[in-house]
Amino acid sequence: MTSTWTMVNQKHSNPKPKTSIAILGATGSIGTATLSVLSSLGKPWRLIGASAHSKVVELTEIANRHEPHMVVVTSEQCFSRPNLPPGCQFLCGPEHLQTLAEHPEVDTVVAAVVGSAGLHSALCAARAGKRLALANKEALVVAGNLMKEALLAGSGELIPVDSEHSAIFQAIKTGQPREIRRIILTASGGPFRTWTNRQLSEATITDALAHPTWQMGRKITIDSATMMNKALEIIEAKWLFDLPVDKIQVVIHPQSIIHSMVEFSDGSVIAQLSPPDMRLPIQYALTYPQRIVSPYPKLDWTESLNLELIAVDLDRFPAIQLGWEVCSKAGTCGAVVNAANEAAVELFLAGKLRFLQIVEVCQRILEQHNFDPSPDLPYLMELDRWARNETRKWASLN
């Protein structure tokens, strides 16, 4: 592995369009946005396979509308074949995410499962040499080094879907890796951007789910409120762009129009701007390296545009510091913080943890864990289970 190799390997100079798509997590926010992109792109892009976890009715509707060759239900509830169109294969069980990710007819896998449940299939897609349109940032947070090895082994390619990383992916092309001074991830600041620590201590589930600029799944919406989402994105950026922690900065940008920036050694800063709409980075990941006319909202340059950039308050949002810490220590830290956070968000949404305790418990579990600088997958999965259990124990005592 060379030190200049990055996951977002951009050497595909004469690529064949990749138009046969599998969506892992098709019933979620990113999955639904991807289906909307496929509808507007039309042929030759087509849905080959899709998965759902619990929303079998929604998956059936998807199958009837998009006529994929196969659908997968990953939860335990799949007792009988739903009312699918003829010729649509029905597979049941989490192991079939791998079947979709490696299917020979599929050339692009949209990894849109939430949480570390999406890791194994993302690894499979990378190892199978697919284009991996990656929304599931947790896969990189948990096992960035293994994802990198899988991509190298399979000669696959990874195109980020996360809007910040898509922005950097686009901006970074304007210079050479050695010319990057730093990247600047923008963060909306979420619903609590202006809240005091005292107000944060009383934040409710409804408050935390009211994101001002993005409509997303519940887990990432809570992550945005704690700013753990930005911590995960710091780690995601480290792996994607092969950058040390001191080259990854964060700035608050409440309008969510500047999606992120790259600063080069001469001081020039290149940014990517567009209205906050995930369909754009998703379309870019599907059609890359082409840019295709899209029907999505555009910025109106005849109107005044107020773009604020505000320094992040590390006292009110300690998750950012935690993100930098995990980023610099690497090894098992990402898996532990990610699992603690997933469990803590579930507990918060169940009314069993207070808002400020989410980041607090992640810090505690990180400190307690048995660090390994180069873990294998079984140890990462063992730690994932351990951290979830420890988080639940901590919550029951506090």
Q: Does residue 342 belong to the site contacting ligand NDP (CB under 6 A)? A: no
Q: What is the DSSP string of 152-172?
A: HHHT-EEEE-SHHHHHHHHHG
Is residue 277 close enough to count as binding Mg ion by CB under 5 A?
Answer: no
Q: Which is nearer to Mg ion, 51 or 224 (CB)?
A: 224
CB of 338: closest distance to ligand NDP in angstroms? 10
Half-sphere exposure (CA, 13 Å, Cβ side) for 141?
Answer: 32
Give CA–CA dist 218/2, Å, rounded. Answer: 38
Binding-site member from 66, 131, 137, 259 for ligand NDP (CB under 6 A) = 137
Q: Is 254 in the site for ligand NDP (CB under 6 A)?
A: no
Q: Which is nearer to ligand NDP, 138 or 242 (CB)?
A: 138
- Beta strand spans in the chain (E): 20-24, 46-52, 70-73, 89-92, 108-111, 131-134, 157-160, 180-187, 248-252, 258-264, 269-273, 310-311
**E strand or H helix at 336:** helix 333-349
Residues in 12-31 that interact with ligand NDP by CB under 6 A: 25-31
227 binds, among Mg ion, ligand NDP, none (CB under 5 to 8 A by kind): none
* 164 vs 242 by CB, closer to Mg ion: 164
Number of helices (H) and strands (E), helices first, in the chain? Answer: 15, 12
Candidate list 63, 109, 112, 319; residue touching ligand NDP; CB under 6 A: 112
Based on the shown chain and the rule CB under 6 A, indicate whether residue 55 belongs to the binding site for ligand NDP. Answer: yes
Q: Measured between alpha carbons, how far is 320 from 313 in angstroms, rounded to an integer?
A: 9
Residues within window 137-166 making contact with Mg ion, judged by CB under 5 A: 162-164
The answer to whether 273 and 292 are in contact (CB under 8 A) is no
The site for ligand NDP, by CB under 6 A, has a size of 28
Tell which one of 34, 99, 108, 136 touches ligand NDP (CB under 6 A).
Answer: 136
Residues 144-203 that bind ligand NDP (CB under 6 A): 162
Q: Which of these segments, 192-200, 209-217, 323-331, 361-369, binds ligand NDP (CB under 6 A)?
A: 209-217
Helix axes 377-397, 333-349, angle to 10 degrees: 40
Cβ contact 296:237 at 8 Å:
no
Tokens linked to 50: 């899709």
Smallest distance from the beta carbon of 164 to ligand NDP, in angstroms?
Answer: 8
| Residue 51 CB, nearest approach to ligand NDP (Å) | 6
Task: Find the shortest distance in angstroms from Cβ 52 to ligand NDP.
Answer: 4
Contact criterion met (CB below 8 Å) for 163 and 220: no
Residues lying near Mg ion in the complex (CB under 5 A): 162-164
Residues lying near ligand NDP in the complex (CB under 6 A): 25-31, 52-55, 74, 94, 112-114, 117, 135-138, 162, 214, 216-217, 219-220, 278
